[in-house]
């Protein structure tokens, strides 16, 4: 496939199976001849991973929501410049575990940061860059948290209240409504087999759209 690559982000709350299903989608795309770069947020670069550690580690002092927000966008700026944009320009597909949709969900929905504040930083850091497609794995918070707790020790975000995660989920679903042209919502409360059947269907749709886009360019 020629031309600019597709930028896909996979989103969802805690315990919805993003890591497992990201790997499934990666293998599906590679099996269909796509050169895929898999990454994550916060993270994706050395600097980004250092910032990720700062954000996730447990702390005695409360973290100011604005400080948290700025750290996330600092990591994102490096991520875009060092990894995402060069890969897309080279015709590779970028598959990211979270992107700015997560900021609208966690920082706006969860923390109460104003959407206008995030939108300003989004414009500053990203310019015109937005994901081409967003896959939202959605499940009731009670199911997701039970799964997350089985993984072992919880990080600073995972230790938030159920009310926090309910707000996060609501914010994600709002994003899906506002940006329905690029969102695909998958019921992650179903069995893994059914979820991955849905992902394969979406993967086939992405391949078809990219072929069509390449033919027009």
Q: Tell me: pLDDT of 87 over 70.
A: yes
Instruction: Give tens-digit pLDDT for 19-71.
Output: 999 999 999 999 999 999 999 999 999 999 999 999 988 888 889 999 999 99
Element (H, E) at 157: none
Q: What is the mean pLDDT of the chain?
A: 92
In 3D space, the residue among 125, 63, 137, 68 whose CA is nearest the CA of residue 100 turns out to be 125
pLDDT for res 149: 72
Yes or no: say if 54 and 72 are a contact pair by the CB < 8 Å rule: no
Helices vs strands, H then E, count in the chain: 9, 5
Tell whether domain 7-216 is in CATH 3.30.230.10: no
- Token look-up 């410049």 returns 81
pLDDT for res 3: 86
pLDDT band at 211 (very low <50, low <70, confident <90, very high): low
Handedness of CA 199, 25, 15, 43 (dihedral sign): negative
| Rounded Cα distance, 86 and 105, in Å | 27
More confident site: 205 or 116: 116
pLDDT for res 104: 98
Domain boundary assignment for the chain: 7-216
pLDDT band at 155 (very low <50, low <70, confident <90, very high): confident
Q: Tell me: pLDDT of 193 over 90.
A: yes
pLDDT for res 157: 79
């Amino acid at each position: 496939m020629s031309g600019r690559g597709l930028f896909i982000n996979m989103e969802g709350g805690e315990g919805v199976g993003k890591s497992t299903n990201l790997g499934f989608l990666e293998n599906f795309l590679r099996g269909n001849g796509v050169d895929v770069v898999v990454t994550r947020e916060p993270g994706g670069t050395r600097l980004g991973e250092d910032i990720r550690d700062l954000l996730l580690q447990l702390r005695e002092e409360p973290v100011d929501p604005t400080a948290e927000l700025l750290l996330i966008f600092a990591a994102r700026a490096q991520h875009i410049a060092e990894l995402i944009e060069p890969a897309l320009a080279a015709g590779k597909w970028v598959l990211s575990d979270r992107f700015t949709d997560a900021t609208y969900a966690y920082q706006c929905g969860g923390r109460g940061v104003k959407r206008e504040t995030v939108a300003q930083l989004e414009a500053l850091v990203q310019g015109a860059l937005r994901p081409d497609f967003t896959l939202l794995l959605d499940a009731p918070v009670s199911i997701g948290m039970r799964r997350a707790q089985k993984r072992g020790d919880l990080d600073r975000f995972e230790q938030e209240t159920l009310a926090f995660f309910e707000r996060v989920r609501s914010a994600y679903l709002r994003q899906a409504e506002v940006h329905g042209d690029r969102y695909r919502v998958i019921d992650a409360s179903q069995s893994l087999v059914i979820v991955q059947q849905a992902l394969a269907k979406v993967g086939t749709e992405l391949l078809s759209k990219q072929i069509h886009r390449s033919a027009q360019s």
